[in-house]
Structure 1
């Protein structure tokens, strides 16, 4: 205890109090931990370490603003302490202060470049912001300093895949699996590199790992999806179906999704958005092209085409619209969309400006950008008041192919509709019904584009897509697969290839998908 260099200058009994507080927090007794750490802070107000531990406690108990204040008090004492800057970055990130958090982690890396954790946190958050090349650089530093740091190895694989460097990504995922053969995130990453099939040795490893009883459920789910994809690639559709079904059944038990709650939400959103005030500025949001609809409906492909245009930046799946509306819900004290009927034109203008300020970095080199968050369809009805100048592109694909592709894909956010065929059908119907209504209310701004139409006759459909977005035709959009950009979705490999007409997969499963067909009101296979 006395050998801890960070405790230097503390009386031994105070160092013991700080360590006792840390043990209490670790043992699940935050009240006792806080009493001990507050006592140490009072008795040693000019020492940063009790304050740092107190901030860790405040973060653990979801009091990030207080943690920021506490860490800034500690930094006033020792302004060049790398660990304090690193912890401040974590606290700022928890408060949604992403730019300030990056500044803190960068400062920590400058002060002590030998520590892997600040490099990892910097890389992880740069990757979330879409700054993939800088993320790769930071994550490579973390992996060099700590080759055994599994999350950094996996995330570096993700960043390399998003940058189109698939061989290097696969090597990182393989490195992660050497550290932890049941690492679900690594198996998911390898499986999502759809241009390189997993092999017989992978199949044997996956089956062996799935037989273990000590595998965590999230890893088991991810490995089940990877095994299903492997078996599908080998043409063993019965085995693939069994693997996908088992993985989804487990996920549904872990995180059940309620179709009834979803259907209530759709009804509320339709009713709340029926009458909205006229916008103060009808052109507000003209910079934005929202691409919405179901996952796996071709939205990444449509974004890749638009992002090839010299006036458009492809920003991928942004959280900002949801965050702006969530913050407004917190301000009102009621969930979205219950407060929508009370919002004034001034409120909607303010919210639109908030969104545009949050996304300003996507317009630094090109005047317009895409926001391809599929879930944004839930908010399409209020955009004519909040961002009336924005374009909304809804993508649709054959319903059975969309549903089956969703069932096969493991999604990060849970609970999720894609774990159950009946839930998939309910979600698809609710999305299409709402979008049909909203498009009828705002036909000049909300446009429907179908994946199969694009495959069948690319150039006319690409011309129509650009026209709907108010963009002049540019032939470079026909060569969208050559665009060099970060693609942060499961389709990162596919959209870097020319269009293919053989993407349908459901037919090969025959009668096994009849329950899904029945839920979608389609005839048996």
Structure 2
């Protein structure tokens, strides 16, 4: 704020404090006043843009920042903030360009490197993410977020030892860092140590540890105890972590069941598609989390015609935007949608995901939750293939219970909710498959392990792909894998021990729930 009168500087500071203290209206009023009093200085405009961004008005923030850039076009901080506004508006290419330009103007701008790396990672460009985040870590070695995200990116690239080094460096800075413990624990091919067990127990007992960190540390301790064969202790750790998460973000089984019933009812009768081939580039992989979906995607992504896009939010976003346009929640508006509406929505999805088909003609979308929308795909993307993956119910349920999920509230925080979710998913998918048998196919994880080549041939055939022996060596693929199964899918197929069965009678309550939960919808 060099060159500004002290009175205006004080007004800007007062506006910043008001925003910090949770009073955005007062903050905006003060900053508008400062902007009027200092029309030729960019900094009050930048602070105003921050208020506009935090109050979810990115278009106004972008305009404020562009006005500031007219005054000072080579300001790296302004370009970095402009990238944040552009990203909030959904213009990720422009955002990446702004952050890249900021790093060119000021190579020591750590936040611009962080934003650049974080968004490259979200887009699946792991090598670019590693390069940018490495710069962020070098410039701000005491900051946790760039170091954690760099560890995540290295995991996705299969560089597990380097990733572990960054997670442990984060723990040296903050021993209760849940994200670091989560990262170490998710490298499932490397066991944690007795020293780690002691550190986890110490941090879990500290009152100062945040609840969110305790959830992550509880899952890490459970994984550690399971690896050591201490199943009773593992169950206790996982249960405590999930109970805490459930208190923080309770999930409603009733609301979920109502949603699924609606989705089944309204998708029973749909208009014939305008273009029956629309979406034939897309292979959706759906079903329960932890059911082998990452493995199936890794096999498909090894094929020279398929790009593995991992878990994309785009289908849900397109439907959410249509709900906002209609002023009615999905799936209530489904009976009102015409064939032309579905064609428009399908084209919107394909436009949003076009970047995944730049180098290969086909793509996978491995968002497990997309099973909830499988019923409307025969109208929206009638040419798409849907692969449902299933695994032994007990193993799937237990694997969900012991995995920390980021989207909250989540069904996997109680055993009863897991059983309800699994039953509803299975029955709904059976109905959807009956309605669209040519496009929706069921594949079993255990069958793939037992007879890999015949199952892989069938998988490729269902997707309209010619057999290629490279798919048998899927574990050698250099692609980024951005899920909790990143380590496992880089290994050859082999029969694995049933981890849930090792718990014996400890999991009888879960078995009972799986047997008792009504499959009827």
TM range (shorter): over 0.9
Counterpart residue number, 2:342? 348
Counterpart residue number, 1:132? 126
CA distance in 2, matches of 1:335, 1:522: 32
Counterpart residue number, 1:472? 466
CA distance in 1, matches of 2:339, 2:388: 25
Secondary structure of the corresponding residue to residue 388 of structure 1? coil
* Alpha-carbon displacement from aligned partner over 1:395-426 (angstroms, at most 9, x marks no partner): 00011100000000000110000000110011
Say which is worse superposed, 449-458 or 97-106, in terms of deviation. Answer: 97-106
Match of 2:443 among 436, 449, 469: 449
1:401 aligned onto 2:378: no
Match of 1:68 among 52, 62, 66: 62
* Alpha-carbon displacement from aligned partner over 1:429-459 (angstroms, at most 9, x marks no partner): 1111111001000000000000111111111
Counterpart residue number, 2:109? 115
1:187 aligned onto 2:178: no
CA distance in 2, matches of 1:192, 1:522: 32
1:461 aligned onto 2:449: no
1:199 aligned onto 2:190: no
Q: C-alpha displacement at 1:502, in angstroms?
A: 1.8
For structure 2, which runs of at least 5 residues remain unmatched after alignment? none
Counterpart residue number, 1:215? 209
Where do residues 49-448 of structure 1 align in structure 2 (5 Å cutoff)?
Answer: 49-448=43-442
Match of 2:2 among 3, 8, 15: 8
Q: C-alpha displacement at 1:40, in angstroms?
A: 1.0
Counterpart residue number, 1:3? none
CA distance in 1, matches of 2:229, 2:122: 35
CA distance in 1, matches of 2:353, 2:48: 34
CA distance in 1, matches of 2:125, 2:232: 41
Counterpart residue number, 1:4? none
* Alpha-carbon displacement from aligned partner over 1:350-372 (angstroms, at most 9, x marks no partner): 11111111111111111101000
Q: C-alpha displacement at 1:522, in angstroms?
A: 7.0
Secondary structure of the corresponding residue to residue 312 of structure 2? coil
TM-score (norm 1): 0.97
Secondary structure of the corresponding residue to residue 45 of structure 2? helix
Where has structure 1 moved over 4 Å in runs of 4 or more? none
CA distance in 1, matches of 2:373, 2:116: 31
Counterpart residue number, 2:12? 18
Secondary structure of the corresponding residue to residue 154 of structure 2? helix
Q: C-alpha displacement at 1:141, in angstroms?
A: 0.4
Q: C-alpha displacement at 1:463, in angstroms?
A: 0.5
Where do residues 497-508 of structure 1 align in structure 2 (5 Å cutoff)?
Answer: 497-508=491-502
Q: C-alpha displacement at 1:9, in angstroms?
A: 2.4
TM-score (norm 2): 0.98
* Alpha-carbon displacement from aligned partner over 1:249-282 (angstroms, at most 9, x marks no partner): 0000000000000000001101111111111111
Alignment: residue pair count:
517
CA distance in 2, matches of 1:20, 1:506: 57
Match of 1:46 among 40, 49, 59: 40
* Alpha-carbon displacement from aligned partner over 1:61-92 (angstroms, at most 9, x marks no partner): 22222111111111111111111111111112
Secondary structure of the corresponding residue to residue 502 of structure 1? coil
Match of 1:519 among 498, 509, 513: 513
Secondary structure of the corresponding residue to residue 124 of structure 2? coil
Secondary structure of the corresponding residue to residue 515 of structure 2? coil
CA distance in 2, matches of 1:460, 1:148: 51
Q: C-alpha displacement at 1:95, in angstroms?
A: 2.1
Secondary structure of the corresponding residue to residue 85 of structure 1? helix
CA distance in 1, matches of 2:497, 2:304: 28
CA distance in 1, matches of 2:205, 2:494: 37
Q: C-alpha displacement at 1:503, in angstroms?
A: 3.9
